[in-house]
Chain A
């Protein structure tokens, strides 16, 4: 990412974070493809990269590239929002290299060592073995140090510079985001108690702090890309934050239905999970409201030109509004009440929801932020869509939607055959997976995964070349 037009060191650091995030995004898709092939051809890369390893890499790369892109987004917007250079930027840069180096080592250990002797050395140096946050304990401590440094940068800058609503929300959100990671760093002998704390990281990240982060980034994007009124945008943001935290924190109950926690979580989980789609509808309407309102004001002045100054970024932001509503909202609401979750829990339904929700709610807006980074780095005033950017957004979106539909069909088969008809027995699990509908769905999932990867290649091509495209207004 060229950054010769950037005068702010914070924005330069943001481009480093975006670049590393894009590389990890590619790794995520690549190992996802390996795992998808293994569903169709179980012998593929057997004892070289087994499904368990491919899955670890697929999911952890997803989480880490998003964290990198989130940190990058904050470093990008801080100078604009606070009006000053980020405080302690040199430490920020040092922490970036420590974080990146730690991730490279962890990935190499996953690939080359893979398993340990199942004692403390495994936990400390190879993997902690907990889904989504499998990093070994030494890396956990490194992540805590990096996160503390990042939060320090954010707080010191926020307190010294202008305190906008967006920065205030981010300050509160990021301290919760970093603090919650601690809940996933210790083990208990009782698996129910262990999972109880583990969900504090997983759920409270993705359905509370990450969603609030998306709300703040969307607010920043609407102000910078459309010129929307800050007061209006920030009012929406506060409503979204209160709704997200109001429903999202106790909505965690939907993970406590079947893990051995007390039964009162049924009612708590049902009530607050039912409310969880409300802020997603609000976020969806918010983007359309501000877009319509700002364009309407422009048209009323007789100027018949688009108010959008970064078309590719805005395309991804609008996709975020749709995708968040579809993936997190509709695909989440499908199976959020305990009565139906009894059947869907742990089937490909969850996987379908996971694919569309992570893409719709997070990947889209973070790719949008990367485009804003490219615009700023190349000194582009009005950035337009290129052929590659259109191919990228079309292929990635249709690929992910295709995977989601395939996995939903596979999950539906599992719900009917493995759970409802055969009562979730050992034999039911295998019978459900050997049926024609399930196996064909997995074939389609692989094909759609390949489509997504092709879209990613177009995205990288566009990232590398769009800065020099003559059609943009400088």
Chain B
């Protein structure tokens, strides 16, 4: 009879939620910068901007679920928090530069 070994690091039932939550980290993340971009290029109205930040919040939550189920170490957890703060600021920095480039072109 073949011996069954259950590895202790990740519970068997946690694999699917890990894969799904990691996919949603990027999908929600794309919605955040996507909506932000669409508002900036005036495809969406300005009042939709809070939805962009809502998706950033959901991205953080999904990353939290993923990290918790994986039992990431202390250093990785801190790195992921820094990554999410960086991700929040990233489109602001990009569109600030974009704005300056357009100003240079138009004036």
Assess whether A97 is interfacial by the CB under 8 Å rule. Answer: no
In the complex, which of the residues A275, A296, A416 contacts B41, with contact meaning CB atoms closer than 8 Å?
Answer: A296
Q: A267 — which chain B residues lie within 8 A by C-beta? A: 73, 75-76, 79
Residues of B within 8 A of A415 (CB): 15
- Tell me, yes or no, whether A204 is within 8 Å of chain B by CB: no
B10 near A: Cβ within 8 Å?
yes
User: B4 is contacted by which of A275, A342, A412, A421 (Cβ under 8 Å)?
Assistant: A421
In the bound complex, do residue A416 and residue B75 qualify as a contact, i.e. CB atoms below 8 Å apart?
no
The B12-54 residues at the A interface (CB cut-off 8 A) are 12, 15-16, 18-19, 22-23, 25-27, 29-30, 33-34, 37-38, 41-43
Interface residues on chain A, number (Cβ under 8 Å):
44
- Taking the complex as formed, is A48 at the interface, i.e. its CB lies under 8 A from any CB of chain B? no
B83 within 8 A of A: yes
A325 to B33, CA, bound (A): 13
Complex Cα–Cα for A432 and B91 (A):
44
Across the interface, which residues of A come within 8 angstroms of B71, CB to CB?
339
Chain B proximity mask over A296-309: 1 for CB below 8 Å, otherwise 0: 10000000000000
Are the CB atoms of A284 and B30 closer together than 8 Å? yes
Interchain Cβ contacts under 8 Å between A and B, 12 examples = A232-B98, A267-B76, A274-B83, A277-B26, A281-B33, A285-B30, A292-B43, A343-B15, A415-B15, A420-B6, A420-B10, A422-B5
CA distance A94 to B48 in the complex (A): 57
| A contacts with B: majority SS | helix
Is A431 at the interface (CB under 8 A from chain B)?
yes
Nearest B residue (CB) for A336:
B22
The SS class assigned to the B binding surface is helix
Please encode chain A, from 410 to 430, with 1 for each CB lying within 8 Å of some chain B CB and 0 for all others: 001001100111110101100
Chain B residues with CB under 8 Å of A421's CB are 4-6, 12
Q: Does A270 have its Cβ within 8 Å of any Cβ on chain B?
A: yes
- Residues of the A chain whose Cβ atoms lie less than 8 Å from the Cβ of B7: 343, 419-420, 423
| Pick from B12, B76, B97: contact of A337, CB under 8 Å | B76
Contacts of A343 in B (CB 8 A): 7, 10, 15
> Which 10 interchain pairs have the tightest Cβ spacing?
A423-B5, A339-B70, A271-B79, A270-B76, A330-B26, A292-B41, A235-B101, A285-B37, A267-B75, A330-B23
Alpha-carbon gap, A292 to B72, bound state (A) = 40
Q: Which residues of A contact B76 (CB under 8 A)?
A: 267, 270-271, 337
Which chain A residues numbered 268 to 314 have a C-beta less than 8 Å away from chain B? 270-271, 274-275, 277-278, 281-282, 284-285, 288-289, 292-293, 296
Indicate if A239 sits at the interface (CB-CB under 8 A): yes
* Residue A172 CB within 8 A of the other chain: no
Q: Which residues of B contact A232 (CB under 8 A)?
A: 98, 101-102, 105
A281 cross-chain contacts in B, Cβ below 8 A: 26, 29-30, 33
In whole angstroms, what is the CA distance A423 to B2 when docked?
A: 11
Q: Which residues of B contact A427 (CB under 8 A)?
A: 2
Question: Which residues of B are interface residues toward A (Cβ below 8 A)?
Answer: 2, 4-7, 9-10, 12, 15-16, 18-19, 22-23, 25-27, 29-30, 33-34, 37-38, 41-43, 70-73, 75-76, 79-80, 83, 87, 90, 94, 97-98, 101-102, 104-105
For residue A329, CB closer than 8 A to chain B, the reply is yes
C-alpha spacing A274/B33, complex, angstroms = 17
Known: A231-B101, A330-B26, A420-B6. A412 touches B70 (CB 8 A): no
Contact of A235 among B2, B41, B75, B98 (CB under 8 A): B98
* Per-residue contact bits, chain A 13-30, to B (CB 8 Å; 1 contact, 0 not): 000000000000000000
Q: Is A334 in contact with chain B by the CB < 8 A criterion?
A: yes
- Chain A residues closer than 8 Å to B79, beta-carbon distance: 267, 270-271, 274
Verify if A98 is at the interface (C-beta below 8 Å from B): no
Residues in chain A near residue B75, CB distance under 8 A: 267
Chain A residues within 8 Å of B101, by CB: 231-232, 235
B41/A278 in contact, CB under 8 A = no
Residues of B within 8 A of A231 (CB): 101, 104-105
Candidate in A231, A296, A337, A428 with the most chain B CB atoms within 10 angstroms: A337
Docked pose: A282 CA to B98 CA in angstroms: 13
Is the beta-carbon distance between B102 and A325 smaller than 8 angstroms?
Answer: no
Given A270-B76, A285-B33, do A416 and B98 touch, yes or no (CB 8 Å)?
A: no
The residues of A that contact B105 with a CB separation of less than 8 Å are 229, 231-232
Residues from chain B with Cβ under 8 Å of A275 in the complex: 83
Within 420-454 of A, Cβ neighbours of B (below 8 Å) are at: 420-423, 425, 427-428, 431
Docked CA distance A325–B10 (Å): 27
A330 contact set on B, CB distance < 8 A: 22-23, 26-27
A156 interface contact, C-beta 8 A: no
Once bound together, how far apart are the Cα atoms of A113 and B80, in whole Å?
Answer: 50
Which A residues are in CB contact (< 8 Å) with B104? 231
Can you name the residue of chain B whose Cβ is closest to the Cβ of A349? B19
Given A330-B27, A343-B15, 17 extra CB contacts under 8 A: A235-B97, A235-B101, A267-B76, A270-B79, A274-B79, A282-B33, A334-B23, A337-B70, A337-B72, A339-B10, A339-B71, A343-B7, A412-B15, A420-B6, A420-B15, A422-B5, A428-B2
